[in-house]
Structure 1
């Protein structure tokens, strides 16, 4: 599998990004830039062509591009983020997905939806009920993706569904049962261990802060690509947040 990786470099106000469930820590902006470059290079090295959304200096959370759009096939669902200050991030992403030839549709008021609450695995789309994604947003997403099975999921103590659970290439869900109730979870180490990005075949991208999970996945036959995203983890970010993969 290969395709396009939609990404956006952080602006100078990254450290002002929203923090909800963890204590705020200082963010090293220069280190964050280096880490973002390495993240993008890792995607490119495994077949994903980077397409950069323009930097948004006045939008601190904008590198977390996943929250602005959900792509299913050739349909791009432009979200309406639950945090009002993040909603201006969507328009520049909308312009890029249209340039890529995707059909753009929207979540409309009063619905709210963050892409980080949307986990796609085969025909199923799990959607977290969160402070950022409301029932109307889930209803609208269901109508916009009639060919998919949309499954609402309750969660506890995390910002987004994909803060708690993601999916491996074979469809196995990997996640933390403290935060989400889903059957058949493969339980990783706490925190970053629940976050993987399938890159095609048996390859998965995960954070360098989850070495035990990487070892577990390697024992299960997966090839792991590890990246340091420590500055983004200080803002409740993870490897899924920093890109949207659009398969060819």
Structure 2
């Protein structure tokens, strides 16, 4: 059974970093309810969730995906390009180690956020230009190459993270809202989506895709392609540039 690391939102969630959008008020109580619904959706579709201890002093701690990149049996612990987010990694590291993963780290001067990494089979796309720098990508490539991964750097300037712009369908097709994708031709197969939030899916297994309620037209399109959208409302996290991928680390081995 696959598992996912999750982390409860901080009471200071509304203070989270915002870089590419205007700040709007966040309802912290609603965010907690939405987070629980997200966790419930994972569990309802066969996932075991493992809760990383909360880190209330870090407003962005709920976006636990940014703390690491997992490939095979190796978890590479991130070193965020945002200094204030670096304390988030320690408890996440302990949680993934407890699941039996080997551990390595991005080290200074490298920076890397997990949200900048998109894995499609043995190809690992690394978003370059925001929170993840050249040295972080070099270290990622060095760590994952012995496991058979090919790391490809792709530009990210228009959004916070690579997976703010694109994710991938089960067949490997990359999907994204084209105005926010720096270089659609960087991917072997690209399908434009009608909404920004339609760019973000979590593969739950078989034909099921976890996605945000803010992308109804994209959900219809994916249904027409034969997929089954599993829709959750994450409006309060979207106000902080979060999406369905940010809220968990999926462990599939």
TM-score normalized by the length of structure 1: 0.98
8 Å Cα contact 1:130-1:159 kept in structure 2: no
Q: Which residue of 2 aligns with 1:160?
A: 161
Q: Which residue of 2 aligns with 1:215?
A: 220
Q: Which has the higher helix share?
A: 2
Structure 2 residue 245 is matched with structure 1 residue 240: yes
Q: Which residue of 2 aligns with 1:71?
A: 70
Q: Tell me the secondary structure at the aligned position of residue 128 of structure 1.
A: strand
Count of aligned pairs between the two proteins: 247
More displaced, 181-190 or 25-34?
181-190
Aligned pairs (5 A) from 1:74-223:
74-146=73-145, 147-178=148-179, 179-183=181-185, 184-223=189-228
8 Å Cα contact 2:65-2:114 kept in structure 1: yes
Tell me the CA shift for residue 35 of structure 1: 0.1
Q: Tell me the secondary structure at the aligned position of residue 137 of structure 1.
A: helix
Structure 2: state its 5+ residue gaps: none
Cα distance in structure 2, aligned partners of 1:229 and 1:70: 23
* Structure 1 residue runs of 4 or more that deviate by more than 4 Å after TM superposition: none
Q: Tell me the secondary structure at the aligned position of residue 184 of structure 2.
A: coil
Q: Tell me the secondary structure at the aligned position of residue 88 of structure 1.
A: helix
Tell me the CA shift for residue 182 of structure 1: 2.8
8 Å Cα contact 2:130-2:157 kept in structure 1: no
Aligned residues: CA RMSD: 0.9
Tell me the CA shift for residue 47 of structure 1: 1.0
TM-score normalized by the length of structure 2: 0.96
Cα distance in structure 2, aligned partners of 1:3 and 1:130: 32
Q: Tell me the secondary structure at the aligned position of residue 145 of structure 1.
A: helix
Cα distance in structure 2, aligned partners of 1:51 and 1:76: 15
Structure 1: state its 5+ residue gaps: none
